Amino acid sequence: MAWGWGRLTCVDIIEDRIAAIEVERGWVRRWAVRALRPGLLVNGTPPDPRALGSEVRTALDEGGISSRRAFMTISDRSVVVRYVDLPRMRRGDLRRALGFVVERALPLPAAGAAIDWDLVPTEGGGVTVCVAAAWRDVVDQVAGVATAAGLKCSVIEPRGLAVARALNGRGGLVLDLASTTLSLTAVRKGFPPLVEVVSVGGDEGGVAAGVAQLLERFRQRAPSAESALPLIAAGHLASEAAGIRIPSVGVNEVLNGARPHRPPRFWAAHHLAAIGLAMREQR
């Protein structure tokens, strides 16, 4: 797990929020949340990596986070994710086999794409591989954000995959409210995470309408799955201050017993993706 790396900074960035944690020896030691002004991340891409990196650095300084080694998320809008089923094989053979299946599984040409993969826990004798790809120039822009923030980033992972890992094998519909952005990440066994995002007003009516809109989108894309998946309220939606009451599972309940451990005063609702980064297995 990531705590084998020593101190590690995990940074999650969406259109209007930066959330980061610093993990050491299996514990969340420091954390930060900072609102992000409009225009620094547009459709998942940073138009000015230096400007966004400066905001990330400010957030880290505010939280007392000093580790330069980092994992970061990349917006799901910029990434294509596919699951590929293969026969069980040794890891070295798996790496060679992936070279043959990646181009068939992904719609992006391998020459212009940055490609990564991870194993998905499965039951039975086969192997399921999660393959993610994004245009290389977009990944380079995200890496530029890390560099501008003074970080040495060794992992850039789709945000939906990080959120899914934080659920620790559990399925669910994660509704995450930042300042004006509401996202739904649907985590289902055997499927890549399904992510939808809408902009909402700051009032209760706007947030309630956004929740209804996202759930309807999910019903249309996976009509038979919603009833079996619990709602998980994250971000501001996990707080009574949001004014929206939905039957949901709490973030702390989802994370109960999972590492990294969290001190009692750490409020995890903004940090699901960052926690998922910290849970990533060292390969």
**7-21 per-position pLDDT tens digit:** 999 999 999 999 999
Enter the pTM of the model: 0.89
How far lies 259's CA from each of 3, 51, 242, 265, in Å?
9, 33, 28, 16
Q: Around 273, how many Cα atoms within 13 Å sit in the side-chain half-sphere?
A: 31
Coil/strand/helix, residue 72: strand
Q: d(Cα 268, Cα 163) in Å, to the nearest integer?
A: 12
Fold of the 2-76+136-163 domain: Nucleotidyltransferase; domain 5 (3.30.420)
CB within 8 A of 223, min separation 6: which ones?
Answer: none
CATH code reported for the domain at 79-134:
3.30.1490.300
In the predicted model, residues of the chain with pLDDT beneath 70 are 1-5, 110, 121, 123-125, 202, 223-227, 240-247, 281-283
| Mean pLDDT of the residues in the chain | 87
Q: Domain residue spans in the chain?
A: 2-76+136-163, 79-134
Residue 244, phi then psi, degrees to nearest 5: -110, 120
- For residue 31, the model assigns a pLDDT of 98
Radius of gyration of the chain (CA): 18
Q: d(Cα 242, Cα 263) in Å, to the nearest integer?
A: 24
219: its two tokens: 């019903």
- For residue 6, the model assigns a pLDDT of 80
Residue 166, phi then psi, degrees to nearest 5: -65, -25
- For residue 283, the model assigns a pLDDT of 44
Q: Is the CB of residue 256 less than 8 Å from the CB of residue 142?
A: no
Q: Is the CB of residue 254 less than 8 Å from the CB of residue 168?
A: yes
Q: Across the beta sheet with 80-87, what order do the strands follow?
A: 80-87, 126-135, 113-120
Q: d(Cα 8, Cα 63) in Å, to the nearest integer?
A: 14
Does 2-76+136-163 match 79-134 in CATH topology? Answer: no
Q: Which residues pair with 22 in a beta bridge?
A: 9, 30
CB within 8 A of 10, min separation 6: which ones?
Answer: 2, 20, 21, 22, 23, 70, 71, 72, 274, 275, 277, 278
- For residue 281, the model assigns a pLDDT of 57
